[in-house]
Structure 1
């Protein structure tokens, strides 16, 4: 079980690194001048590869987490409201991940609707959610 926990943490940490960095690429894409196609193409390639990589990390992270929850029983039973809160935040992050994919498709279609400032704020969302998840897991407040 400790190996499963270790791999879950490893995959989740790597997935979060992608969730932190992909919107940063979006900030740079939003700043690219229209005439700079080489820079835009390079950033789009980086974003596509990162999205594919972090999607590949999210799947085993979720599988290990579900196994720990449903198979081993971690966080089940009375007094484990923290797990329900954590799972809700994980669903929020999965939505954020999907939203990143939508934003990337918009950049690829030359249909970006947001400024670089908007993407800077968008980039802070996973940081706040990660803080909440860590506090829930460590403190188990309810």
Structure 2
């Protein structure tokens, strides 16, 4: 048996575990992507120049990003690549994996956008309003809808 066959067999055997950890990772990542912009809304609208409140929001935002969102994003990508490497799972001749890939790249962009906004808050340079963060808070929801429909319904 060749090395490639052994790897394919291992990936096929581990598929349910890899898929499970991928879903758990996505849920954790999405929770952070939903919550961090909401924290930005509150940070913008409720600090009123209070250093104590500003510090509390910065602590929450930093811990959410570094301890939950970053590891969840990395594990989502890692388990996703393992799923892609499993023979027979993805047919790149179909539109759905391309739509999902575009959605995941867009979610990653949004994650990086949020990280940049967190740095601006940390440096005292936020210029965006609560309304802006409320509107941006809809981005991950819309992308999630597209990704789930593309993967499960596959209407495209």
Q: Give the structure-1-normalised TM-score.
A: 0.94
CA shift, 1:71, in A, is 3.3
- Picking from 117, 121, 127, the partner of 1:113 is 127
The correspondence of residues 1-142 of structure 1 with structure 2, limited to 5 A, is 1-31=15-45, 32-34=47-49, 36-52=50-66, 53-78=68-93, 80-142=94-156
Q: Which has the larger radius of gyration?
A: 2
Q: Secondary structure at the match of 1:72?
A: coil
**What is the alpha-carbon distance in structure 2 between the residues aligned to residue 96 and residue 50 of structure 1?**
15
Count of residue pairs brought into register by the alignment: 140
RMSD, aligned CA: 1.1
CA shift, 1:73, in A, is 4.2
Q: Quick check: 1:22–1:47 contact (8 Å CA) kept in 2?
A: yes
1:14-36 deviations in Å (ceiling 9; x for gaps): 100000000011001111201x1
| 2:7 paired residue number | none
1:42-71 deviations in Å (ceiling 9; x for gaps): 010000000012101111111111111123
Unpaired segments ≥5 residues, structure 2 = 1-14
CA shift, 1:75, in A, is 1.8
Runs of 4+ in 1 over 4 A off after TM superposition: none
Unpaired segments ≥5 residues, structure 1 = none
**What is the alpha-carbon distance in structure 1 between the residues aligned to residue 32 and residue 95 of structure 2?**
28
